[in-house]
Structure 1
């Protein structure tokens, strides 16, 4: 099975193609390890300029990036010239090839290769690559050549950093939608010396579909609660809903069954009865389908209409 090209492989090949376009046909540009490039040059009348990627490093620390955004890496490469040792017509052929490569990158440091993302990405996800000359320490250069094998002796090379290479995520997730509404539930002692009592306040964004949100609680005996327990087989719960009096709302019952299976019921219609909730607020009967021990139901209440934001949620646990 073939392996798809990655942004790193595209960057390396684009860099090599840029160099090759600025040489005559007497020079072949390869992206390989030094041993393979040296072998290719032995039996050829052409010089070989090899691009050897020896290290990949991060572009930096970016704590604000999410897995849904591309990250960036830097590629460190060596440019090394190899020519046929039996060709005595030009004794400094390696230096000529290497010197011309440096001249090309000095004149054109931005590589004219577009690096697209590897997945369906935003149209703006097109990147350019820049070659930056590096002053590599001799200790690092000696180490690179020492691990090439006993038959490979040290050769003069030029080090470049290719930056920045994007690494796109495997899949783009759609960005979260802006918050349209919140419910601020203030207790009686939350803000002293104010006229705000124990009633919910719905806050919606200017472009929200409605300018109010329902707030609900379940009546159990002589109390109102947002989290109640009922026995297996319970068919109804009494839901008190606040909001502009007489407004229609939709109640969704979303189940998490005892075996972990999600389940939903057909939406039920109810109406708001008062601006604030108390024990005298009329309630609406909400049907529970097949309530069995271990099931958990979440009641989601929203204004009647398409794609309306929801108010708070309440929970029913079946014991």
Structure 2
């Protein structure tokens, strides 16, 4: 196998691994989420030990670590937190934060001020209704949700994570974010394909591949946001990054396989000759003031052309 064939084949195999693994991973996680999360919570609670604050949260009567939680901006969201303080000192909780994020970006945050002191070795349960009417213009679809307990210094004491099914509007911050990614991706592909059509891409294959990689990554970003907004696949940090990397790898491979631009034919340049100095407009300027001694100069009928030398 020659190097020209081996390199694209290796890149294609890497891309296949990056794409297939994320697509199969979330399916297994969804099928076994109930049992896996229950076992994980039990293990976490039993292994908490001294020095930890354990949080068990439920939103709208659904455990945060369980199924998807529906968040309807038209109705109050009921939040229940059960806190177990395994520290040797008092745990002071001053706020409860409910937030949603995708791709590491937070799209909605709701803070509720509380004054909840949990003595060492005890448990406290607290309930509150949170008004999320502004959620309609902030996000829609499936997002990663987190319920966090914070102290007076805004430090997270304990948290629980799950999936929120937000019934918001497509004309929201999250929807506009997806539209912006789509426009940027269209621009990147248009620029790359236009350069390909005009034969203005670099002749080096690796430079052409790097030119197409951001466009492929843009498709990955758009796909992740679209699947989340359409409630098809819940977001996941590891699988989303792998999916985006796989899409960028496909774009890299397509750029590597694009044909090399043809060399422009070289046009021979016409030889240049030194310009002769311009002749004076008045032929009398060639004669000295004393013309009596000039006998051998002969002038042609064209001004500026002369023969012989003065005697």
TM-score range, shorter chain: under 0.3
| TM-score (structure 2 length as normaliser) | 0.28
Structure of larger gyration radius: 2
Q: Which has the higher strand share?
A: 1
Q: Which has the higher helix share?
A: 2
